[in-house]
Structure 1
Amino acid sequence: MENVVLIIHLILALALIAVVLLQRSEGGGLGIGGGGGGATSGRPPATPMSKVTWLLGIAFVITSITLTIVSARSSAGVSVIDRLTAAPPALNQQDDDAGSLPDADSLLPPAQGDNAPLVPTLD
């Protein structure tokens, strides 16, 4: 079901983009274009293209909410953080050395008292 809603959602997104790009510019956007009248003009009449835009927009929001609900139900209450803290699956190791993960302590920088190699300096 999630795939069907996702496909409908993508089709609605593309249709919404196409309908918005096909509409006539009313001007005033970004301060460019014609279309005088300013604040004295009333609300423009609803054209069929604006009605289609509203319908596609409402359908897009509905499919967005539906996808959110469906994905929340299928997540089974497992957080991404829970997945990160879980133990990693065992690797398919053919050699003992090849493919093994490094020890977590070896990834840390050396402590102050360790016999770590000196950092080069400019003389």
Structure 2
Amino acid sequence: MFLFLTVLQAIVAAMLVGIILMQKSEGGGLGVGGSPSGMMSARGAGDLLTRTTATLAVFFVSLSIALAVLAASEGKTESIDQSLQRDNSAPVSAPADDVPLVGDDPLAAAAAAAAENPAPAASADGDIPLDQ
């Protein structure tokens, strides 16, 4: 039932987008010519598109509410597990051996190496050497 209503809502949404895009911003509707007293005059087409838009919008909102109610009723009633227990069955990867450590900080070795080899200063005119 949920899947059917979801597909139906997608179809209604596509139809709603199409109907809205067919309307002129001035309210002229399709702009189809014809007899002024006929159903598909410019005014009649505008009225038809306006009514169709309103109907599809009401149907879309109704489907949204129905889907929300179904999703809430089919949902699990269990509470969220807020404990911090970990699964100990998964193996814990060891840190890579090629990372030099200073104490427990892997970035301290990189900072110490950068402090030992300072970057060459820029020349007096502000140029930076190409080897940087």
Q: Could you state the TM-score of these two structures normalised by the residue count of structure 2?
A: 0.53
Aligned twin of 1:3:
3
Unaligned runs of 5+ in 1: 28-43, 92-99, 107-113
Q: Structure 1: how far apart are the matches of 2:24 and 2:14?
A: 18
Q: Could you state the TM-score of these two structures normalised by the residue count of structure 1?
A: 0.56
Q: Structure 1: how far apart are the matches of 2:105 and 2:49?
A: 71
How large is the Cα RMSD of the aligned pairs? 3.5
- 1:1-123 to structure 2, matched below 5 A, reads 1-26=1-26, 47-78=47-78, 82=80, 100-102=90-92, 115-117=103-105, 119=108, 120-121=110-111, 122-123=114-115
Structure 1 ranges of 4+ moved more than 4 A: 83-91
Q: Which has the larger radius of gyration?
A: 2
Displacement of 1:24 in angstroms is 1.0
Length, aligned pairs only: 88
Q: Structure 2: how far apart are the matches of 1:8 and 1:70?
A: 14
Q: Structure 2: how far apart are the matches of 1:64 and 1:54?
A: 15
RCO higher in structure (CA 8 A, sep ≥6): 1
Unaligned runs of 5+ in 2: 28-42, 95-101, 116-132
Q: Percent identity?
A: 20
Q: Structure 2: how far apart are the matches of 1:102 and 1:84?
A: 22
